[in-house]
Amino acid sequence: MSSIVVFGSGAWGTALASTWARAGLSVALWAYPEDEGAEMARLRAHPRLQGGRLPDSLRVATKLCGDFDSAIWVSAMPTQITPAVWEGLLKKMDARPKAFIHVSKGILQDRHELLSQTLAPVLGLPIGAMSGPTFADEVFLEKPSAIVLALPESIPCEKARRLQALLSTPRFRVYLSRDVAGVELCGALKNVLAIAGGVLEALNLGLNSRAALLTRGLAEMSRLVYRLGGKPETVMGLAGMGDLMLTATGPQSRNRTFGEKIGSGMNTQEAMQSMGGAVVVEGVHTARAAMELARDVGIEMPITQEVIRLLDGGSPHESVDNLMRRELKGEWDSHS
């Protein structure tokens, strides 16, 4: 299984494809739209990944071809468009991979499902997920990074370990998990919490408030993950605590940046436009879907609720007051 096709030429998909190509694997990157892919192939560069060239061995393709009859497919497209894109792609392709992994982060807004739940019946394959505290630009520049690869139990242990070893490089360490739903939920929910983190930064409320938000955000994340079948260790691992710390505090984070703009007084549309309009802020799409899932299973997610209120035009200062003035509870009460 030394051949990989990465579907999606955003910064994250391109960074992963470049990492594996530099490690000596046979890697093709399906780029869309076609004109952007052609420009990447010509310049051997990505517009959002500065400081390095695409490896010479990385094949950038704008059309489906025989090279895609590959052992491993990695889906790296924005969450909300991924199911529709794959339904279209599969109509044009006869081949199926020996392994399918997605690296998108979010909950589908229209059906309140995880990508693994939606894609498995479409592809007729078990779906894995890879997530963790990894900014694309740092992975692209080969700065040391760690991530978790979650594979369903239906994939035999020997095959799972081979995939783990294959996708690991000296600068990109891959840990193995069997908690696909937990890893997906953590990757989605941390984006919502990162928006809240950006709001706090804009309000200049100090380090105490940041620490409280991150800690209570983990508690909120854990309640939904546990109730939907995820594992406690996933929340405290790379996909949960690790990715939350990075995304809620790192300046490269789109969700944190969006939250800062909301906290500074912009409305949702103004904040999106100021970030270029086409930038995907997954936490905006995920917040309402996560809230619906929480209601379905009977748990409270007060931070997520306030993020939704802010997206609807609420006052950032009022949201802080709402959280601080909630009924006092035990730290680990089920509805705390």
CB-based contact 83:53 (threshold 8 Å): no
Strands, E, within the chain: which ranges? 3-7, 26-30, 59-61, 72-75, 99-102, 127-131, 145-150, 172-177
- Of the candidates 175, 192, 318, 336, which has an alpha carbon nearest to the alpha carbon of residue 259? 192
Instruction: Give φ, ψ of 252 to 5 degrees.
Output: -75, -10
Residue 140 CA, distance from chain mean position: 16
Residues with a catalytic annotation lie at 190
- Of the candidates 133, 137, 148, 132, which has an alpha carbon nearest to the alpha carbon of residue 252? 137
Q: Residue type for 108, please?
A: L
Q: How far apart are CA 183 and CA 238, in angstroms?
A: 9
Instruction: Give φ, ψ of 160 to 5 degrees.
Output: -60, -45
Q: Residue type for 99, please?
A: A
At 219, list the tokens.
């508690």
Q: Residue type for 157, please?
A: C
Q: How far apart are CA 33 and CA 168, in angstroms?
A: 29
Rg (CA), the chain: 20
What three-state secondary structure class fits 20?
A: helix
Strand order of the β-sheet with 127-131 is 59-61, 26-30, 3-7, 72-75, 99-102, 127-131, 145-150, 172-177
Bridge partners for 145 per DSSP: 172
